[in-house]
Structure 1
Amino acid sequence: MSRKLIFHASAFIIFTVMLVGCATMGTSRRTTAQYKADLRTYIQRVKANPRDAEAYREIGVITFELKKYPLARKFLTKAFKFAPSDGKTLYFLGMTLEAQNQLKLALKVYQKFNVISKASPYRYQLESRYQWVSRELIHQEMRNLLAQESQLGTSQISPVAIAIFPFSYFGKEKKYSSLGKGISEMMITDLSQVKGLVPVERVRLQALMDEIGLGQSGMIKEGSAPRFGKLLGAGKIVAGSFDVLSKKKVQFNAAFWDVLKNKFPPPSTETDKLDNIFRIEKDLVFSLIDDMGILLTPQEKAKIQQIPTKNLHAFLAYCQGLEMEDAGNFGKAAQFFQKAVRLDPNFSKAKQKKAKAKMLQIAGKGLSPVNQRTASSPTTSIAIRRTELSKTDLISDRLNNISASIGTIFIPGQDTRKPTQEAAEAGAEILGDLPLPPDPPQRNGINP
């Protein structure tokens, strides 16, 4: 490549920084002068060493901050090729893909958090984004399914998939309302121990309820079971209700519907002291298994008999955490899960949920700086308000017109691809280097 072209490209980027510098200085830790100095440094490094992964990465970070996402993607993809296990590169590449609404590609990038050193602050950030994007993709899938609902038949319904919805509360004391979520989650865990049954993930059920507008305690009725079966690809539906009666007694009604066989047996009812709620849950599970005609092995029975905690107050706090998690209030959810752990230090599931809720809380802040978790890196804060980089239409047009040329200049070697070929290959560099993601975006957890 000619030095003249590199010079003009370098000058243009620095000129761009000067134009938008006033807008970014209010939110970025890097001043306009620092931007210019950093760019000159990294551009010189690329000229001296076309395989300098760090230089490509830092130019990618800067272009990401300037919201030139296609350009940032080129630089960060190049950095990834030279240093595929660099946490900072993966983080900003994933964030760039998210900014381009390429969530599936972003998930593939974030999935690599497990190859990053646990000492790196980027590992936690990558895993946080992975959890967040997984949830977003599930919601996206539910929206797409609802849009295509009229075209859905029974052919995609799996006879082994079972959806256990949260139990609706009909009582007066609000403090018990969240128990329905905890009991349904226990049932999901228990039924997952049964060979030949694949419970639908709780987050997927909640995503569907959110998109339909059922709210936090929507009642699932017999007439709507076939609809939910089609949307979730589940041949079996479990739903019900509960109430806390006088003298601290609790009554549960659980219904099992076989959508494919068109069987709708009467609901099972269990009543006992509130302190015996875990025994009630086990009785309901075994009753449902009998209704399905499944014969359990001794090993399956033993696994189902296990309970997550013997402390009712810890379980109530855990259920409140689930309620906050479903509402998207991950900070509050983490507090309730922490309370559950404090009441029962051996409540391992509450510990896991607390850690995940904290990740989602951080990820939910969007384009937040990595150094929120003591990340010491040369990069700047990326919390740039969307309106602060906008200038005149003329400047925006000039930036857009020259972006492709700048991206080509910094890629080592002769680029002989035609524009149509380059467009067709968009994303291929990333797809070719990353493994397929695991199951989260799948409909019912069953491999096709």
Structure 2
Amino acid sequence: MRARSTVSDPSSPRRLAATLLGAALVVTACAPGGPGAVSPNEIPALEQRLAQAPNDGDALLRYAAALYAAGRCDTATVVAQRGMGVKPQDALGPLVVGRCLEQDQRLDEAHVVYARYMTSYADRPGAAGIRSRQGIVRRERAIAAARDALAREAELAQVPAEPTTVAVLPVQVVGDSAYQPLSRGLAEIMTTDLALLERFRMVERLQVGALLGELNLTQAGRVDPATAVRVGHLVRAGSMVQGLATIPPRGTTRLEAAVVRSDGEVTAPARQDGAVRDLLKMEKQLVVEIARQLGYELSAAELEMVLENGTQNLAAFLAYSRGLLAEDRGDYRSAAAFYAEAAQADPNFDVARDAYEAATVSVETSLSLPSAITTLSSVEVVAPGVGTELPLGGVLTTTVTDIAATQSETTAPTSTQVTSGAQTSASQPPPTITVLGTPVAATGVVRIIFRLP
């Protein structure tokens, strides 16, 4: 989760160019010749084309897409894998293979396909589509794992937990209600900070959240030590980290955490006090103390990695935390807006940018036909302004804005509309996302639709 600059022009770090969310630009799947939709009717022609040029990567991937649209996943997977051998950087191949695996409920295998692509091509156009599917699969796997663990609870209770496996529970936030979303965000950043230390295997926040959801504990606040031990057994964690953030409207903010071991032992809480504006600095120091309670002392290099992880902009982190909350309840529209707000508040908060792109694809996917695969054409971010309507269909609006240190320095955007030439759903006006409050960022979307005959 290290924040890194993704500004297009290094000589002008405040200039971010983008395409507004919206544009459901229907394009061909890797084929030349302009916009269009892949149809099973193309299968004979594609087979003839491949007979003449069997290693044509574009044709192979288009053929795989057509087979997928025809419901022929077995053959589509084989063809997509051939296409991936020729064009491994193209996201369409992994998307076809992964979606077929998802349809067959082979979620672990789908996750491996997506993860393998992201390891090598996370910065390629289309990676956001993979990231979106990866997040959806990760969530489905977490729910399935939670239900399986509960069904086997008596059995798991007899198996010793892994001593180096650690899970972080949602942080209880008391005081100013405006900071309640930090419960998710602080748990996430603590998890990723500790994951930087190779000593520990961290349980994903989603997995912990899914289990708490199955136990109906998501709204229960801080769980008692006995419940923490139970959760630890269910996720096979030898240690659970329980955090508490006290953020009064005025006065000193306190961040503390204790480790609950699998035998029920609870360590004395580690504490950090300070001003609320320094909350994220306090979190870093708390992670060092948590690691110490877990029996590990950070090296200088590990400490540097932890300090560089994430953002130190509290407004950006709060918006990101709101995005996590929205995404956890399946509200990808709101999540996209919050992640965009976070990316605008801190343009170097790369994790927020990635989450925004994935949530945007998820919004588009929810509006698509079942035979559609959605990816992203642009990775740039812009602040279109307060109350901006972002149309989802038919039009691609590009905007360039100079994002300065204060809102008063932001220049007026200039816009150009480009008609896509294709409608994704007949007889229905394109839906919109209305963003109110803080200016948000947005980016262009490419929806690859495989039309059924």
Q: Give the TM-score band, short-chain normalised.
A: 0.5 to 0.7
**1:123 and 1:336, CA in 2 relative to 1: closer, same or farther beyond 3 A?**
closer
- Amino acid paired to 1:160: T
For 1:153, give the aligned amino acid: A
Unaligned runs of 5+ in 2: 1-35, 378-419, 423-446
Runs of at least 5 residues in structure 1 that lack an aligned partner in the other structure: 1-28, 390-448
Offset, 1:307: 6.3
Q: Which has the higher helix share?
A: 1
CA distance in 2, matches of 1:280, 1:61: 49
Q: After superposition, what is the alpha-carbon deviation per residue over 1:138-183, rounded to whole angstroms, capped at 9, x for unaligned?
A: 3222221122112113535211111111212233x43110122222
* 2:311 match: secondary structure: coil
Q: CA deviation at 1:325?
A: 2.6
CA offsets per residue over residues 203-223 of structure 1, 9 Å max, x none? 222222233332266422101
TM-score (norm 1): 0.63
Please list, as runs of the form range in 1=range in 2, the aligned pairs for 1:46-445 lying within 5 A after superposition: 61=65, 64-66=68-70, 69=71, 72-80=72-80, 82-85=82-85, 87=90, 88=92, 90-111=94-115, 113=117, 124-153=128-157, 155=159, 157-171=161-175, 173-215=176-218, 218-260=221-263, 262-306=264-308, 308-362=310-364, 367=370, 369-370=372-373, 373=376, 381-382=449-450
**What's the offset of the Cα at 1:264?**
1.6
Q: 1:214 to 1:117 in 2, by over 3 A?
A: closer
Partners of 2:128 and 2:358 within 8 A in 1: no
Cα shift readout 1:289-319 (whole Å, capped 9, x = no counterpart): 3433433434344444446434322222222
- Determine the C-alpha separation between the residues in 2 that align with 1:371 and 1:349: 20
Q: Aligned letter for 1:369?
A: A
Alpha-carbon separation, structure 2, partners of 1:181 and 1:371: 27
**Matched residues, number:** 346
Q: In 2 relative to 1, CA 197–246 (structure 1 residues): closer, same or farther, beyond 3 Å?
A: same
Deviation at 1:49, TM superposition (A): 7.5
Give the Cα separation in 2 of the matches to 1:222 and 1:294. 22
The alignment partner of 2:238 has SS state of strand
Give, in angstroms, the shift of residue 235 of structure 1: 0.6
Q: CA RMSD in A?
A: 4.1
Structure-2 separation of matches of 1:279 and 1:81: 46
Quote the Cα distance in structure 1 between the aligned partners of 2:114 and 2:120: 11
Q: Quick one: distance in 1 between partners of 2:340 and 2:276? A: 23
CA distance in 2, matches of 1:305, 1:372: 33
Shift of 1:196: 2.4
Deviations 1:217-268 (A, max 9, x none): 64221011221111111111111333322424323342211114x4223434
Change (3 A) 1:196 1:45: closer
Q: TM-score, normalised by structure 2?
A: 0.63
Contact 2:60 2:80 in 1 (8 A): no
The residue number in structure 2 matching 1:13 is none
Per mean C-alpha deviation after superposition, the further-off stretch among 129-138 and 81-90 is 81-90
Following the alignment from structure 1 to structure 2, what is the Cα–Cα distance between the partners of residues 217 and 321? 21
- Percent identity, aligned pairs only? 25
Compare 113-122 and 230-239 and name the one that shifted more: 113-122
- Aligned partners of 2:129 and 2:374 also within 8 Å: no
AA matched with 1:319: S
Q: How much has 1:103 moved relative to structure 2?
A: 2.6
Task: For CA contacts below 8 A with separation 6 or more, give which structure has more relative contact order.
Answer: 2
Preserved contact between residue 114 and residue 130 of structure 2 (Cα < 8 Å): yes
Measured in 2, the distance between the counterparts of 1:380 and 1:304 equals 39
| Contact 1:116 1:123 (C-alpha < 8 Å) held by counterparts | no
3-state SS in 2 of match to 1:247: coil
